[in-house]
Amino acid sequence: MEPLPPVKEVEYRCVINKAFDEISGMEYTTFSFETAKEFSSFRYEIAVRYKLEPGKIVFRVLGMTATRMMMPSFGSAKSVLKVPHLPYGAYLVTFIKSDGSETEFMLEFTKKGTHILKPIPRKRFIDLIIDPHAALQGGKLLSTITKLISEPLVPRTIQKRLPVPPTPEELEILNSLKSETPEERDAREEMELFGGKKKLSKKELAESEKELRKLGDKPAAATKKTGAKVKKNGAKSKVKPVPKKAAKPAKKTSPKPKPKAKPAKKAKKKK
């Protein structure tokens, strides 16, 4: 099967099927219309009218109307038309939108089933789908859909506005209102007490104590060993005492002799 030409946007889909009315005993060909997009708030109906001509079927898609039950719901707008059993053969099916744009397809109805004939219009506002119950077994072309269903359509009047991002002050208030877990409270207290330093665990404290004890025991063990060596050697040889140097006698400081006073000069008598 060759790929169909791509289409920018398709507004409607039409599903062709068969139905049997037990009351009247008649067989119908159903054309189920639905929008390609979905509504997230209300359900709508599609107003469609049709006209039969020899070898032709004309559908006028007038638009969407509100349902009688204005209850909140979601989904695509739908509408179903029952057409009396069509004589077997090829038909030119024309779809006319409210703005006047047209899309034409060729359909062949046989006793074994229905299928779509080429060519497929490149520019179209509606896609055709043949239901497996009514499709021709082994038919090459049973659908014209070339694009995945887009996101649900939300009317502008009821679109939800995006929330405004909170300010830094509001974020601080929200964070202060949050309840702390015991672990968070312990971590906060450690940060306040130790200034961001990591608190040592019990194992680390025990290891540090062991290291300190080892360091404290090393000099004591060394003194014990040296004392034991002195005791062993003391029996054989005595340690000679080191003679102390004699202190030098302090110099006697003799007081300096006071200078003799000069005799006063005799005053000369005046003649």
Question: What tens digit of pLDDT does each residue of 204-213 get?
Answer: 778 888 888 8
User: Token pair 């229905």 is at which residue?
Assistant: 114
Question: What tens digit of pLDDT does each residue of 174-220 get?
Answer: 877 777 788 888 887 877 777 655 556 677 778 888 888 887 766 55
Identify the CA nearest to 102 among candidates 119, 118, 123, 81: 123
Instruction: Please give the mean pLDDT across all residues of the chain.
Output: 76
Task: Give me the mean pLDDT over the 73-79 stretch.
Answer: 80
- Do the strands 114-117 and 102-109 form a parallel or antiparallel pair, or are they unpaired? antiparallel
Question: What tens digit of pLDDT does each residue of 80-116 get?
Answer: 999 988 899 999 999 999 899 999 999 999 989 999 9
Q: How far apart are CA 41 and CA 158, in angstroms?
A: 8
Question: What tens digit of pLDDT does each residue of 152-175 get?
Answer: 555 555 555 667 788 888 888 887
Max mean pLDDT among 189-198, 217-226, 232-241, 248-257 falls in 189-198
CA 255 from chain centre, in angstroms, equals 103
Instruction: Report the pLDDT value the prediction gives residue 217, as an integer from 0 to 100.
Output: 66
Q: How far apart are CA 88 and CA 220, in angstroms?
A: 116
Task: Give me the mean pLDDT over the 142-154 stretch.
Answer: 65
In the chain, DSSP finds a helix count (H) and a strand count (E) of: 3, 9
